[in-house]
Structure 1
Amino acid sequence: MENIPLTKAHENKLAEYGLENVPLQSCGCQRFAPGENVCQEGVSMPWILIVISGSAKVCRTTPDGKSLILCYYISSGLIGDIELMMRQKNATTTVKAITDLDCIAVNYPTCADELSVNLRFLNFLGGELAAKLSKSSDNYTLSALCSGEHRLCAYILQNSHKNVFSDILTDVSASVGMSYRHLFRILGKLCRDGILEKRESGYYILNNIELKRRSSF
């Protein structure tokens, strides 16, 4: 993680969330590289993060140690809002950067009083939580009603970086709700259909249009 000085653009972003009055010495800009943990499940998280750019995946660890993908942030939103509202000191999920990810970090312990009474910020916070609830419903519908190919294509679109999909396949199979063997069969079919190509770095997306068509409701 790299710390970057706050700019006027970052201050304007804070103002959008109604946080123009928080002390700037309690804020900073953090840049995470692809694959780097933004926060880790069960570990103290003293920040609430405003995503400026980039994307990250949100994971929970299953009892058998597998990583289950819950959702994604893309270019905007808050990280740490659930912990803030639940008064949890430790992160409830692991957030991992998929691309370069820039966030404004607001230190919760020093800004708690302002965050707890700032109506504009709380309205944004409520909107973020409602959006996550809606996304969670979409994901449940996807898991319950859509085919394995459909779920996998949607997953690949969400989790690819520069047209390359390189997630750990055992974790993918748990996230999309299918066996590893069935997952591998579908990947082979997508390769034979000219949608993906197996490379050393992972699976390269050859046909984004068809992949999107197969992932849509």
Structure 2
Amino acid sequence: MEQCALAARHLAKLAEYNLQGVPRESCTALRYRPGEAIVREGDELEGLALAVKGLAKVSRSTPDGKNFILCYYLSDGMIGEIELLTCQRLATTTVTAVSAFECVLIDRASIAEQLRENIPFWQRLGAVLADKLQRSSENYALSSLCSAQERLCAYICKNAPGGLFRDPITDVACSVGASYRHIFRLLADLCREGVLQKSKQGYQIKCPAELARRAQAGGGTPAPGKANKRKETAP
């Protein structure tokens, strides 16, 4: 993690949430390398973070130590808003940078002040939570009604930045709701059918249109190149 000076892009992000009036000394611009933890489940939160740039994954741990991926998001969203509204000081999820990631952290005292009087900020916060509820409903329907292959294709479409899929198979199995071995078999099938190609780095998407078709059959997202441009919010 590296602290950097507030720049125009950070100020623009604050203005997007109607937080341009927050004292500059209460805001910290932070950069994270791929693989770095932005927030760890169970750690104390310093405040509310606004994503500025990059891709990160949000996960929760299971009792046996596996990670359940809740979502990925790109260039937009809040980190720590649920804990803020429920008056919890400890993070309920782990947020990890997948690509180079940048955010603006606002300390708890300044955010508490905004919650008392900043109506536009409340409206944006409500929209974030409503979007999260909608996506949770979609994910529940996906896991209940679709085949394991359809769920896997939808998962890959959402989680393959630059067309390269390299999530740990244990995390994928937990998130998709299939066994570790079954996920390996499904990935092998997709490679044999020319949809994916295995490499040392992971699985390269060779046929985005076919992957998207199978994902959409399971309620998934558009082709990976389009999906990654969608702005999403983090739990």
Q: 1:121: how far off?
A: 0.8
Mean Cα deviation higher: 162-171 or 187-196: 162-171
* Stretches of structure 2 lacking an aligned partner (at least 5 in a row): 220-235
Match for residue 28 of structure 1? 28
Mean Cα deviation higher: 102-111 or 163-172: 102-111
Distance in 2 of aligned mates of 1:116 and 1:194: 55
- Please give the residue correspondences for 1:27-46 in structure 2 after superposition, counting only pairs within 5 Å: 27-46=27-46
Match for residue 95 of structure 2? 95
Retained in 2: the 8 A contact 1:46–1:109? no
Match for residue 129 of structure 1? 129
Q: 1:128: how far off?
A: 0.4
Retained in 2: the 8 A contact 1:47–1:107? yes
- Please give the residue correspondences for 1:1-217 in structure 2 after superposition, counting only pairs within 5 Å: 1-216=1-216, 217=219
Q: 1:110: how far off?
A: 4.2
Which of structure 1's runs of 4+ aligned residues deviate more than 3 A?
none
Letter in 2 for 1:93: T
Distance in 1 of aligned mates of 2:104 and 2:195: 37
How many residues are aligned here?
217
Retained in 1: the 8 A contact 2:33–2:101? yes
Deviations 1:53-76 (A, max 9, x none): 212111000011110011122221
Deviations 1:180-203 (A, max 9, x none): 121111101100010111111111
Distance in 2 of aligned mates of 1:142 and 1:111: 35
Retained in 2: the 8 A contact 1:53–1:102? yes
Mean Cα deviation higher: 89-98 or 113-122: 113-122
Retained in 1: the 8 A contact 2:32–2:97? yes
* Stretches of structure 1 lacking an aligned partner (at least 5 in a row): none
Letter in 2 for 1:84: L
Letter in 2 for 1:75: S
Higher relative contact order (CA 8 A, sep 6+): 2
Q: Please state whether the residue corresponding to 2:45 is helix, strand or coil.
A: coil
Distance in 2 of aligned mates of 1:68 and 1:127: 24
Letter in 2 for 1:180: Y
Q: 1:162: how far off?
A: 2.3
Q: TM-score, normalised by structure 2?
A: 0.88
Q: Please state whether the residue corresponding to 2:34 is helix, strand or coil.
A: coil
Distance 1:111 1:81, change over 3 A: closer
* Root mean square deviation of aligned Cα: 1.3
Q: TM-score, normalised by structure 1?
A: 0.95
